[in-house]
Structure 1
Amino acid sequence: MEESSLAAQFAVLAAGVVAFAVVSRRTAPWPLTMPMVFAAFGLLCAVTGLVRLGVEPTATAVLAELALGVILFVDAARIDVRALARERGLPLRLLGLGLPLTLLLGAVVMWAVAPGLGLLGALLLAAILAPTDAALGLAVVEDPAVPQRVRQGLTVESGLNDGLVLPVVLFCLAALGGGDGAGEGPAYWAAFVLGQVGGGTLLGIGVGALGGWALARAARAGWVEGLWRQLGTLALAGLTLAAAETLGTNGFIAAFVAGLAVGVVSRRVGHTGDSAPTEYTEDTGQLLAVVAFFAFGNVLLAEFAVDLTWQVAVLALFSLTLMRLVPVAVSLLGSRARRATVLFVGWFGPRGLASILFGLLVLEAEVPASEELFSVVTWTVAASIVLHGASASWGAARYGRWYARVRRDMPAEQAAGMPEAGSAMAHRPRRGRAR
């Protein structure tokens, strides 16, 4: 199939954006989300020959990295760090215990189902599919009926888990002969992990705090026009990602921490005007995500979602269910969280841009069984886009009604002691749900 011209590609995608925009409010209550629409649109364009992007996996990876980095930056900027410090229990449990258990359980089961992957290949696949993407279930983290502590925990988890598993992905690639560091000892990898996590954290604090403070102070002094504060904030997100790439540290952790820092200094210094300084950055992140999911459908679904073997189907189903549900349940033991909360948090761990990006790294590295690995990733993300997207609004509303009913039927003191009911300062909501 011939690659379509750049002008034709842009025209078709732009027309799709306009069409979705026209009905976006009308379709908001429907079980239909932006990733579902544009992944399907991209696939339809590829199948019919209307648009065939013809881009290399590297280009798609860059696009996914930009979209994910900007979204992480914005989501972090909306979090109140003081509230997070007080209510850190759920994120710590999910990241400190749930994430390692996810990698362990995933590696064992995937090795058992597909022994041809080898243990390292199974661990690599588990690491690729471990990160969650809150953007695929946006209704969950935006619905005020869901306890704020639960929403905040899911947001922080999705903001940090992709950066935390990246060293595992790169280690497995190197050990399989498809990346740098092959043959290196424990000291090398300890330094590598420290550089990725610690370096990304320090970079994010530095860029976010200094840049955010400068923009906030200048705005307070009346030196900055509203548009340029918006553009300057977007530039901070881009600067963080570019600096992380240049310095060889973790761009996702850096972007998330930079967003936290920008949020802190913006609240302390204050901002002028009717709009928050991250609004344009938020819009840009959503637009990048639109293009990324269109590319996913047009390039990756059309190429790799062809041969569905029983092993691929089993691993995709396992990745979206037990691989997360069991570790979440174990990590919440002793927290006094109700069964409904455990199931809610366990189910709403959708797989999205991070898994796509890590899967593309496997293709570029050409490790053994790379196409089989990426086939599992493609089917898992495609199923997650549909299942989590379709169930997000319904699940959030149902859980919210359960929570309200339980609190209403309890004595006031007992209701106040529910772990879900703990006080957590709400972060700034999105202006509109791209869903």
Structure 2
Amino acid sequence: MSASLTAFAGVLLLAVLLSSLAHRTILSTAALFLVAGFVLGDGVLGVVSLKPGDELVATLAELALFTVLFTDGMRVGWPELRSAWRLPGRALGWGLPLTLVITAVGAHYLVGLGWVESLLIGAILAPTDPVFAAALVGNEKVPPRLRQLLNVESGVNDGLALPFVILFLAIASGAQNLHLGELSLELGLGVLIGVVIPWAAIKLEQTRWFSASTQYEPLNALAIGLLVLAVGKATHGNLFLAAFFAGITVATIGQRQRESFEHFGELIAEVFKLAALLVFGALITPSLLGSVGWQGWLFAILALVLARPAAIWLSFLRSGLSVREQAAVAWFGPKGFASVVYGLLVLGSGIAPAEQVFQLVAVTIVASILLHSSTDIVVARWFDDEREVPAWYGIVTRKMHRQE
């Protein structure tokens, strides 16, 4: 435990020191933690020694996913979803399930997995990660509708993919253990907890008897999140749906709480993300990367360059997006943090093909992080008008006008 904590602290400090450089170049903080975990793990140096069944792995996966789904939900309240649903609705309503199905077909026919396990992999790899789209979302020369599309989609699809992951994982664990009534109750209870607790807490603060000071305002949403987590664990409601709907509820009825928590919450979520990436990297060994065979690597590449692009192309037919915009949306479907944690959950689930599913998810995420984190700035510059026209063109044009 102490070695893992020391390793994380050291890599985190290095990431902070290199963060300014990372924003200007193809260097990626996510890739840094993934590679650091791989090098420090049992497969290479053995500094961070972790096994899939370790309590640290399960606990970190649970807390990290809860935190990220809570902050993701807080990005998109119902008013934003209603006012900007046309393009994100295509990506989420058509693109997400199509990506899931195409990925599952690849896993079944290329790798030979059963249909349930293939659909589970499709659900794990369907969500996109907003981290790699940061260069696009933050570039003011990128069309606003494209930035809004990527922002809303990446904030919502983690939560939308979650029920599919839970369902296929439950089926894969054995039909005799699957009780749809219990599963529905767990999911419904999670949604109820996620809506009722934030609503009650925010309405309570809005009464004349209570008021949060400026200093403590950022802790309001944190306290709500912790209460949702505690009640969810005590009642066996689904923690992750509770987190996602709690974030949406805060964003919908507690604009002040949302704004005060935004920066603080992003930092907390980022710490958990990076810790999970380090652990994920430590569980990836050279033998794991070699054991998937050429079929596994071919599946990983096709999941990135075929599944998402084909799904987006079909989803955005006659949408009004330019070819360049569609290409950017299609390429920036990286497999990141949510897929990492879903993969860790499967690894600790005890299902028979858990290791094979994790291996395929792992190589796909590794390929995605390396490919997408090194191309985000390049793709963002497609929309830089100053780069579309060479500098010498303007100089020559001005000289010609002066001569006239």
2:142 aligned partner: 146
Q: What corresponds to 2:305 in structure 1?
A: 321
Aligned mates of 1:223, 1:245 — CA distance in 2: 28
Q: Could you report, residue by residue, the CA deviation over 1:74-121 in whole angstroms, capped at 9, with x for unpaired residues?
A: 243344643431210122212212222222222223222122x12222
Q: TM-score with structure 2 length normalisation? A: 0.84
Q: Which moved more, 1:156-165 or 1:128-137?
A: 156-165
Residues 1:205 and 2:195 aligned together: yes
Aligned equivalent of 1:300: 284
Deviation larger for 40-49 or 286-295: 40-49
Deviations 1:231-263 (A, max 9, x none): 232232233344344444443343233223223
Is 1:266 the counterpart of 2:254? The answer is: yes
- Identify which of 30, 33, 55 aligns with 2:28: 33
Using a 3 Å threshold, how does the CA distance of structure 1 residues 58 and 350 change in structure 2: closer, same or farther?
Answer: farther
Cα distance in 1 between the residues matched to 2:307 and 2:379: 20
How far apart in 1 are the matches of 2:132 and 2:286? Answer: 20
The answer for the alignment partner of 1:9 in structure 2 is 4
Residue segments in structure 1 that go unaligned for 5+ positions in a row = 1-5, 406-435
Moved more, 64-73 or 324-333: 64-73
1:72 aligns with 2:62: no
Asked if the contact 1:234–1:280 (Cα under 8 Å) also holds between the matched residues in 2, the reply is no
Aligned to 1:32, the other structure's residue is in SS state coil
Deviates more, 1:373-382 or 1:97-106: 97-106
Q: Does structure 2 conserve the Cα–Cα contact (< 8 Å) formed by 1:137 and 1:392?
A: yes
- Given candidates 151, 156, 166, the residue that maps to 2:152 is 156
Q: CA deviation at 1:403?
A: 12
- Residues 401/10 of structure 1: CA separation in 2 closer, same or farther (3 Å cut): same
Task: For 1:1-400, list aligned pairs within 5 A.
Answer: 6-46=1-41, 47-54=44-51, 56=53, 59-79=56-76, 81-115=78-112, 117-178=113-174, 181-182=177-178, 188=180, 192=183, 196=187, 199-215=189-205, 217=206, 223-267=211-255, 270=256, 276-301=260-285, 304-399=288-383
Aligned residues: 387
Measured in 2, the distance between the counterparts of 1:192 and 1:54 equals: 28
Aligned-pair Cα RMSD in Å:
3.1
Deviation digits for residues 373-429 of structure 1 (CA, Å, limit 9, x no counterpart): 211100011111111112122222323549999xxxxxxxxxxxxxxxxxxxxxxxx
Distance 1:230 1:329, change over 3 A: same
CA 1:240–1:225: 2 relative to 1, 3 Å = same
Residues 137, 348 of structure 1: 8 Å contact kept: yes
Report the alpha carbon displacement of residue 160 of structure 1 after superposing the two structures with TM. Answer: 3.0
In the alignment, is the contact (CA less than 8 A) between 2:204 and 2:210 conserved in 1? no
Q: Percent identity?
A: 32
Q: Which moved more, 1:55-64 or 1:366-375?
A: 55-64
CA distance in 1, matches of 2:76, 2:13: 31
In structure 1, C-alpha distance between the alignment counterparts of 2:385 and 2:317, rounded to whole Å: 24
The residue identity in structure 1 corresponding to 2:119 is L
Displacement of 1:213 in angstroms is 4.3
Q: 1:286 to 1:120 in 2, by over 3 A?
A: same
Cα distance change on mapping 1:222 and 1:18 into 2, 3 Å? farther
Task: Tell me by how many angstroms 1:282 deviates.
Answer: 1.7
TM-score by length of 1: 0.78
Unaligned runs of 5+ in 2: 390-404
The alpha-carbon deviation at position 310 of structure 1 amounts to 0.9
**Deviations along 1:189-221, whole A, 9 cap, x unmatched?**
7x845863x554443332333334445x48x98
Shift of the 353–64 alpha-carbon distance from structure 1 to 2, 3 Å rule, reads farther
Deviations 1:311-355, CA, capped at 9 Å, x for gaps: 101110111121111111111123122111211111111112222
Contact 1:350–1:384 (CA under 8 A) maintained in structure 2: yes
Q: Is the 8 A contact 2:120 2:168 kept in 1?
A: yes
Aligned residues of 1:145 and 1:400 also touching (Cα < 8 A): yes
Could you give the per-residue CA deviations for residues 114-144 of structure 1, whole angstroms, max 9, x where no partner exists? 22x1222222221221122213433333333
Q: Amino acid of the residue matched to residue 122 of structure 2?
A: A
Contact 1:9 1:51 in 2 (8 A): yes
Distance between the aligned counterparts of 2:177 and 2:386, measured in 1? 50
- Structure 1 residue 19 displacement after superposition: 2.3
Question: Would you say the 8 A contact 2:76–2:156 is kept in 1?
Answer: no
Aligned residue for 1:143, secondary structure, equals coil
Per the TM alignment, residue 295 of structure 1 is displaced from its structure 2 partner at its CA by: 0.8
The 1:246–1:335 alpha-carbon spacing in structure 2 relative to 1, beyond 3 Å, is: farther
Please give the alpha-carbon distance, in whole angstroms, between the structure 2 residues aligned to 1:226 and 1:133. 32
Give yes or no for contact 1:136–1:388 (8 Å, CA) kept in 2: yes
2:332 and 2:372 in contact (8 A); partners too: yes
Aligned partners of 2:250 and 2:257 also within 8 Å: no
Alpha-carbon contact 1:200-1:253 (below 8 Å) kept:
yes
Query: Per-residue deviation at 1:158?
Result: 2.7
| C-alpha distance 277-358 of structure 1, shift in aligned 2 (>3 A) | closer
